[in-house]
Amino acid sequence: MSTFREITMGELLKETAARFPGNDALVYLETGLRQNYTEFLQTCQDVAKGFMAIDVKKGDHVSVWTTNVPEWIYTQFALGMIGAVLVTVNTNYKTSELEYILNQSDSTTLLLIDQYRDTSFYDTVREVVPELNECGPGQVVSRKLPFLKNVIYIGSRETTPGMYNFNDLLRLGRSVSDRDLEKREQSVHFNDVVNMQYTSGTTGFPKGVMLTHYNVVNNARMVGDVMGMTEIDRLLIQVPLFHCFGCVMSSLNCVVHGSTMVAMEYFDPLKALKYIEQEKCTAINGVPTMYIAIMNHDDFARYDMSSLRTGIMAGAPCPEETMNQVRENMHVSEVVIAFGQTESSPVMTMTRRDDPVDIRVSTVGRLLPDIEGKIVDPATGEDLPANVQGEIVTRSACVMKGYYKMPEETLKAIDQDGWLHTGDLGTIDERGNFKVTGRIKEMIIRGGENIYPREIEEFLHKHPKVSDVYVVGVPDKKYGEQVLATIIFNPGEKMSAQELVEYCTGKIARHKIPRYWEFVSDVPMTASGKVQKYKIVEKYASKYAS
């Protein structure tokens, strides 16, 4: 019998608030905000009424371009209550990318903060929608964005022509009755799309992944169950909310389990240390680079991490050494690995808290309950036996409805039997543990030999001087491709290319030893922590063209 629950996000929040009314729901130390579940539910309802007051209809698309501010989380649940769709916008985007998302998604409404890092979101939006100067709030008429009507500003500017302020939303919402909100909520079905995540664009144009209440609520529940999350847990949310790691595996996970969301506006290793100690966080989610940055911080030893118990490491391969340090130095003894992709809401497999360490570092674990997965031959689609490499495919009620307005891309991703083709290469062992060995598109073919970057990366990670490594193929006239390794050394360490070649010689096959070596301090990444390998290839392809 399936354990999937037929519940909307709004119904879920009401249920949790009834079960744990006095539990801390949301803590945001930047402003001293601290709300229990009763207060959090009330704010989400007030925001929902505000959206109704500015005529956000059921099925409307609302783009959110902010860091992890409380308004993001209120909006997430408010839109779920009124049947609208939250469209996530990457905080690293610039003008053309913002315009693309607003246009492709047919968004009627945009929420933004004032600025983030070196980008003024306010100025960027005015550049994309120059008509704001002539429009009243809620009356936007944009030549380039025909669907856009509302722009909502979160911040402290005195005047924002053409934009509502978030506080206006709350004020206008008072004209909407509890009964009106209730009627709207009753019209929402658990199979309705609630979230549109744009794939991070490591290749090509981002595609809008349509996820339903059913998809994300059930995925969040399963993920939290594997972590052992309960109403006494407090999760540090340092991963971006615009990514599934943030809004499904973190915020929604907490609401499903009655846990506390300790939100951090954006990742900062020192603040992470402070927040963990101050709020006695028991759980932490992050990509490996976040854990590494926290443990490498000069003040790491000054902070008490002993409250930590569980957490997820995902989004990138997890080096064995990093896993061991997280367990020992950060006290996250039950840290688990999760694997999936946005199109599967997002998690497909996880290691378990009681798995031996070697399973937790060498595999991405077993399938979640009620989720199917297998390995198929990428060329023929035939099922492959244990320990034979092929493409990882999955089928479940967590698989997306499809890509927004891209039916052909949807058909490429989901076959006629409902299997989602992940594009990831991997194997499955006799005990059901999956291993990810690379991306189909990342596989390097050198002189007819198939080379899997992940295998070389895992090997080079074992060198004590190496902090991080990314392996790509660059074009080569003679062999088709050559292997290039970009190396980030541990602080104060350095080596020559020749020393690294000697380290590899006799331990990995000669054709796998990188022909080229680049020593770097960082690599191009998406805001959600995924390395953009195609940018590494672009950077060095001409340098080594032969």
For 9-62, the DSSP string reads: HHHHHHHHHHHSTTSEEEEETTTTEEEEHHHHHHHHHHHHHHHHHTTPPTT-EE
Out of 54-68, 477-491, 527-541, pick the least confident. Answer: 527-541
Q: Which two structure tokens, joined as six digits, stand for 302?
A: 């000054």
Distance of alpha carbon 76 from alpha carbon 326, whole angstroms: 31
In CATH, 443-541 is 3.40.50.300: no
DSSP-derived pairing of the beta strands 444-446 and 449-451: antiparallel
- Measured CA to CA in angstroms, residue 443 lies from 391, 399, 426, 437, 452 at distances of 12, 25, 12, 9, 5
Mean local confidence (pLDDT), 136-142:
97
Q: Answer whether residue 172 shows pLDDT above 60.
A: yes
Closest CA to 223 of 308, 348, 362: 348
- Measured CA to CA in angstroms, residue 88 lies from 29, 184, 248, 467, 532 at distances of 23, 23, 12, 32, 19
pLDDT at 412: 93
pLDDT at 527: 67
Contact 60, 36 (CB under 8 A): no
Distance of alpha carbon 214 from alpha carbon 12, whole angstroms: 11
Distance of alpha carbon 223 from alpha carbon 229, whole angstroms: 9
pLDDT tens-digit profile of 312-358? 998 766 777 888 999 999 999 999 999 999 999 999 999 999 998 88
Q: Which residues contact 245 (CB under 8 A, 6 or more apart)?
A: 239, 285, 287, 312, 314, 315, 346, 528
pLDDT at 442: 82
DSSP-derived pairing of the beta strands 260-263 and 283-286: unpaired
Closest CA to 69 of 242, 276, 206: 242
Mean local confidence (pLDDT), 255-260:
98
Distance of alpha carbon 167 from alpha carbon 35, whole angstroms: 18
Q: DSSP state, 300?
A: G
The alpha carbon torsion through 528, 530, 535, 540 (nearest 10 deg) reads: 140
The fold of 9-198 is Rossmann fold (3.40.50)
Contact 466, 443 (CB under 8 A): no
Q: Order the strands of the 372-376 sheet from edge to edge.
A: 372-376, 390-395, 420-428, 434-439
Q: Answer whether residue 203 shows pLDDT above 50.
A: no
Q: What percent of the chain has pLDDT over 70?
A: 98
Contact 248, 285 (CB under 8 A): no
Domain boundaries, the chain: 9-198, 443-541
Report how many helices (DSSP H) and strands (DSSP E) the chain contains, helices first: 18, 28
pLDDT tens-digit profile of 370-382? 999 999 998 899 9
Closest CA to 138 of 169, 95, 94, 93: 169
Mean local confidence (pLDDT), 97-112:
96
Mean local confidence (pLDDT), 239-264:
97
Closest CA to 65 of 12, 22, 128, 13: 128
Query: pLDDT higher for 485 or 205?
Result: 485
Q: How confident is the model at residue 116 (pLDDT cuts 50, 70, 90)?
A: very high
pLDDT at 450: 72
The three-class DSSP label of residue 242 is: coil
Contact 226, 353 (CB under 8 A): yes
Q: What percent of the chain has pLDDT over 90?
A: 80
pTM, rounded to two decimals: 0.86
Residue 107: count of CB within 10 angstroms of its CB:
23
Rg of the chain, C-alpha, whole Å: 23
Q: How confident is the model at residue 528 (pLDDT cuts 50, 70, 90)?
A: low
Helix, strand, coil shares, percent, the chain, to 5: 35, 25, 40
Q: How confident is the model at residue 200 (pLDDT cuts 50, 70, 90)?
A: low
pLDDT at 202: 45
Q: How far is CA 429 from the centre of its chain?
A: 27
Q: Answer whether residue 196 shows pLDDT above 70.
A: yes
Average pLDDT of every residue of the chain = 93
Mean local confidence (pLDDT), 501-515:
88
Three-state SS string over 333-346 comes to CCCEEEEECHHHCC
Distance of alpha carbon 77 from alpha carbon 9, whole angstroms: 6
Distance of alpha carbon 245 from alpha carbon 23, whole angstroms: 23
Query: pLDDT higher for 481 or 201?
Result: 481
Q: How confident is the model at residue 204 (pLDDT cuts 50, 70, 90)?
A: low
Distance of alpha carbon 198 from alpha carbon 343, whole angstroms: 10
Q: Answer whether residue 55 shows pLDDT above 90.
A: yes
Helix (H) / strand (E) element for 237: namely strand 234-237
Question: Which amino acid is located at 5 in the chain?
Answer: R
Q: Which residues contact 91 (CB under 8 A, 6 or more apart)?
A: 65, 66, 67, 116, 240, 242, 266, 527
pLDDT at 546: 59
Out of 2-16, 183-197, 198-212, 383-397, pick the least confident. Answer: 198-212
pLDDT tens-digit profile of 443-489? 787 876 778 788 789 889 999 999 999 999 998 877 778 999 999 99
